Structure formats: structure tokens, C-alpha cells
Structure 1
Amino acid sequence: MWNIGGSTVDHRCGDDAPFSQPFRSVVPPAKQKVKAAWLVFRISLTIWCCAEWPRVSVPSWGATQQFVKRIRMESQSQIGELLDLQKNPVAIAFRDQAPTGIAKVDTAAVSGCSYWAHAAQGRTFYTDAADHYGCPVGAHTHGIELPEQQAEELQGLVGTMVELQYIDMEEVGQLPQLSGGFGFAVYAPLAAADFEPDVVVLSGNPRQMMVLAEAAHAAGISNASSMVGRPTCAALPAAFQSQRVVTNLGCIGNRVYTELSDDELYFVVPGAQLGTLVERLRVLSSANRELAGFHAGRAAG
């Protein structure tokens, strides 16, 4: 004992201290049973999860990619709805190998652009080089090496065009052409395409093309090239290789083979730029509807 300031202080420690025994909390028996039951449950759940995990269905990375691609394509296919297009936008892809799960075209067409019309009608198919021999000019723009007979036809056709002063020889040498060789081309309506398109071909009236051109300009992917762009099939390599949109009035051959109406023209979009274009198109199509009402009100006085 110590006496400090008249007060007695117990300085003992260890076993001699009055409160040397450690403090122990007393847990009621009922609560102990609950804690034990909870521990057993957690252990059982862990064992069950370990046993069942191999049977849990987890989407593969490939399936996830397909899902994401599908969502993106559904969004991009809204382009037809935004513009109220009467014909399906056509997705076209150029591949080194024949696609799996897609049938080859049953009959070769007389022109390469005829396949655009087939796809716009709802068909999905692919072509090889021989399916384009019927149109030597189209085969040339697609980078297809022609057999001797078709090569002679191409020379004869070009000679006729030059003689008619439809084109000159200098223009022929400047035609856009797919580089890297041609393997296969895959065609499908855009909304049904489960592949990544290299180009998307749209056809519509001048009012619809106006909104598309405005959206392309806002997206920074417009092209200052001429809208003549004959032959029309040259618009595919022009858009694909420049990664900019191409507006094309349609050549006379294309209009005959595809039955493009007199009040329609083409708009070709690089597939990689389609998402960007659709984003701006949503804004511009809405803006044009609002402005149409505004101008109609002013015109009515």
C-alpha cells in the first residue's frame, strides 16, 4: 500500500492484485447455439458451392462477344427506321475465307451490284470471284483477276464507253479498286447481319440522303468527292479504303440491273464508321423533324 496525498493506493499487481483475474464475457447458451448453427451453415454452403461450381453455366468469351456484337448491330440497324427507308440497308463484308453457316449464292448474277438488290430483299449469302465474272467492270473494281475471256470483254466494254465519250481512258485508270485481292464477299440485310460489315449500302430519296449527309458531316466522316462516281460499284472500295462515306447517284448500268428508281440514289458507309454515323443520325433526324415544323409554320404565315 502507498500513501499518496493522504489517500491509500493499492499498488499490488500480478496474482496479489484485487482484480488480477482476466475478464470473461458470459455468452448465453441460446446465443451459443445460434452461432454454432450459423458456422455449420457457412461450412455446408462452402462445400456445396465447391461441388456445384463445375456445373454452373457461365457464358464463354466467344458467346459474350457475339452478344455484344448483336446488341451493336441492332442499334446500328435502326438507321433504316430513323430515315424511314423503303429498302433494307445492305451489309457487305470482304473475307479471305468462305463464311461458315452462310450459303453461297445459287446463281451468278449479271452484275456485281445485282447482289445488293438481292440482299436488300432479305437474302443472306456469299459470292466468290467467279460469281462476279458476269460484270467485267464490277470485277475490276472488286480487285478480281479476270480470266482471259472476261479480260477481253472488259477491254471491249471500256473501248465502247470511250468511243461513246461516256468516259475517257484517263478516268479508267483512276477507278477505285479493292486492294489485297478478292476472296469472298458476304451480303445480308443490315438488321440480319451477324458479321462485321466492311461497307453498308443504303438507297433512298434525296431528302433521306440529305439527313445522312448532314449526320456524316457532323460525325467528321464526310467526303468531298464527286457524287457521279461511275461505275457505282466503285463506291464500295472508295468508302472502304478512305473510311469516309460516299454519296453516289448511281450509274446507268446499276439503275438497270438493280431497278433503282429515278428518285433514288446511294449512300455507302464504311462499316467501322456506322456506329458513329448512327449516333449523329439520331440527333440530326430529330432536329430535322423539329425544323420542318418550324419552317412549315413560317411558310403558312
Structure 2
Amino acid sequence: MSTITSYKSAGKELIELLGLKGSPVAVKLAKTAADVPAGIPKVAEKTRHCQFVQNARLKGTKGFATHEEHLCKGGAGVMGVEPLPEAVATGSMYHKLGNFKTAEGALETVTAMPKNTESYYATVYAPLEAAQFEPDSVIVIATPRQALRISQAYLHASGGRISGDFSGIQSICADAVVAVMQRGVLNMTLGCNGSRKNSGIADDEVIIGLPPKALPGIVEALKTFKEKWG
């Protein structure tokens, strides 16, 4: 079975085994225009990374977005699609918005935030079960119970602990894509004001970024849980 076929199979099985609302979303960062997978169109409208993810999750939309299509420049910036705006890079925007009491606290937080140092041409999105490319991260938007099962499945083979690394800003971009790309491990995040307001992530949903290499083990473990726990 090819890698692409296994991703598509994993997408279908995650939906069925977890009872997900919508699809897991395959996200890829394309270095150049030539790296955009064949058959993926440019997105039809300008919006934010979090909304591109939601469109793939809930509407089955496939598409790629260059810096021109990204309305949230902070999200595009941390992923390397364009330079990070100075107001985000210094934390001044979040200080002014009231996220942090001091400018120093805001700067410390954005300095620690996962950011790509390489430049990319575009972000690419597709429902995992329909993806014809190898993703850099797979984003699952789930209820806490579903997130529990994913976490248990992720640890099933080798054990260990899961650490969620987030700060309440830049959640679906820095936390669920960049952190996963750079570290190769699962990261869980609670969303941010922008992603919940602009893309409709519900109050009872959390966000998990999965390294693609973990998918086969997660699916296998979820099947085991179904047999043992129902």
C-alpha cells in the first residue's frame, strides 16, 4: 500500500472510529509553485489559515493559498509563507489587544512561539481521506473525549506522556502545524481568540496536530480500543 493510499485510509478510519464531525485535515507547506501537488486548485477566496482548515474539514475543500490569499498575516508569517509582521514579532499587537499585561510578557511569548525560519510558497489543504499528497501535519478538531482517545492511541505502542505546548495565540498555525513539523510529535492546543471567532471552532472543541508518521499506529490502537471498550 502506498503512503498516499494509507493516509486516505487513515482519514476514513479516524472519522469512523472516533465519530468525528467532518474530516481530519492534511496540511502541507509547499516550498515553490512546483511543489504544489497536481490537481490542487488555488483557493477561491481570501481568508485565514484557520478558515482554510475548517473549509477542508467541514466542506471537503481542497486548495492552496499563497501569501496573497492569507488574510491573517500572523498565521502566514509563522508558517513562513511571508515575513512575520513586526507587530506580531515584537508582541506589541498582543499587548495592545490585552492578551498580556506587559510588553515584555508579550515579547517573551511570541519569541517562544514555534516559527518556520525557511520561506514557503503556499499552504496546501485537503481532507485527509481525499489527500493526494504527503502532509506535514494532520489537524484534527475534536471534542475532549475524542481528543482523549487520540492521546491514548498515540501512546498505546510505546507509552509516555503528552505535553501540550500553546499560549492561546497563533493556535492552528504555530501550534498545530509548525510545532508538529519541527518536532515530529503530537501537539494539542486550545485554539485562540481569532480561530474561534473567525472560523467557528466550537466551545466544546480542541485542536490536535498529528505527525503523519503516527497515523498507522493511532488507527491500529483505536481499533484495539473499540474491541476492548466498545
TM range (shorter): 0.7 to 0.9
How much has 1:206 moved relative to structure 2?
0.8
Residue in 2 aligned with 1:76?
10
What is the root-mean-square deviation in Å for CA atoms of aligned residues? 2.3
2 CA distance for matches of 1:280 and 1:95?
A: 31
Task: Name which one, 1 or 2, has greater alpha-carbon Rg.
Answer: 1
- Cα separation, partners in 2 of 1:184 and 1:144, compared to 1, 3 Å: closer
- Cα separation, partners in 2 of 1:212 and 1:227, compared to 1, 3 Å: farther
1 CA distance for matches of 2:169 and 2:228?
A: 33
- Cα separation, partners in 2 of 1:74 and 1:242, compared to 1, 3 Å: same
Does 2:97 correspond to 1:140? no
2 CA distance for matches of 1:117 and 1:210?
A: 21
Paired AA for residue 279 in structure 1: E
**Secondary structure at the residue paired with 1:195?**
coil
2 CA distance for matches of 1:173 and 1:122?
A: 35
Query: 1:182-201 alignment to 2 at 5 Å?
Result: 182-201=120-139
Residue in 2 aligned with 1:254?
195
Q: Is the 8 A contact 1:95 1:183 kept in 2?
A: yes
- Alignment equivalent of 1:223, drawn from 150, 162, 165: 162
Does 2:64 correspond to 1:123? no
1 CA distance for matches of 2:207 and 2:6?
A: 23
Query: 1:169-180 alignment to 2 at 5 Å?
Result: 169-180=107-118
How much has 1:266 moved relative to structure 2?
0.8
Q: Is the 8 A contact 2:26 2:125 kept in 1?
A: yes
Q: Is the 8 A contact 2:169 2:192 kept in 1?
A: yes
Paired AA for residue 116 in structure 1: V
- Alignment equivalent of 2:30, drawn from 89, 95, 102: 95
2 CA distance for matches of 1:210 and 1:141?
A: 28
- Alignment equivalent of 1:284, drawn from 221, 225, 228: 225
- Alignment equivalent of 2:178, drawn from 228, 237, 241: 237
Q: Is the 8 A contact 1:91 1:197 kept in 2?
A: yes
1 CA distance for matches of 2:116 and 2:89?
A: 19
2 CA distance for matches of 1:184 and 1:209?
A: 29
Number of corresponding residues:
217
Q: Is the 8 A contact 2:43 2:64 kept in 1?
A: yes
Deviations 1:1-24 (A, max 9, x none): xxxxxxxxxxxxxxxxxxxxxxxx
- Cα separation, partners in 2 of 1:219 and 1:179, compared to 1, 3 Å: farther
2 CA distance for matches of 1:94 and 1:222?
A: 28
Q: Percent identity?
A: 29
2 CA distance for matches of 1:219 and 1:159?
A: 43
How much has 1:199 moved relative to structure 2?
0.7
Q: Is the 8 A contact 1:211 1:285 kept in 2?
A: no
Higher relative contact order (CA 8 A, sep 6+): 2
**Alignment TM-score, normalising by the size of structure 1:** 0.66
How much has 1:229 moved relative to structure 2?
5.2
2 CA distance for matches of 1:286 and 1:179?
A: 44
**Secondary structure at the residue paired with 2:69?**
helix
Q: Is the 8 A contact 2:67 2:122 kept in 1?
A: yes
Q: Is the 8 A contact 2:30 2:121 kept in 1?
A: yes
Does 2:126 correspond to 1:205? no
Residue in 1 aligned with 2:103?
none
Query: 1:58-69 alignment to 2 at 5 Å?
Result: 68-69=2-3
Q: Is the 8 A contact 2:116 2:178 kept in 1?
A: yes
- Cα separation, partners in 2 of 1:70 and 1:239, compared to 1, 3 Å: closer
Question: Which segments of 5 or more consecutive residues in structure 2 lack a partner in the other structure?
Answer: 101-105
Residue in 2 aligned with 1:151?
85
- Alignment equivalent of 1:107, drawn from 17, 32, 45: 45
- Cα separation, partners in 2 of 1:230 and 1:219, compared to 1, 3 Å: farther
Q: Is the 8 A contact 2:66 2:81 kept in 1?
A: no
Q: Is the 8 A contact 2:137 2:181 kept in 1?
A: yes
**Alignment TM-score, normalising by the size of structure 2:** 0.84
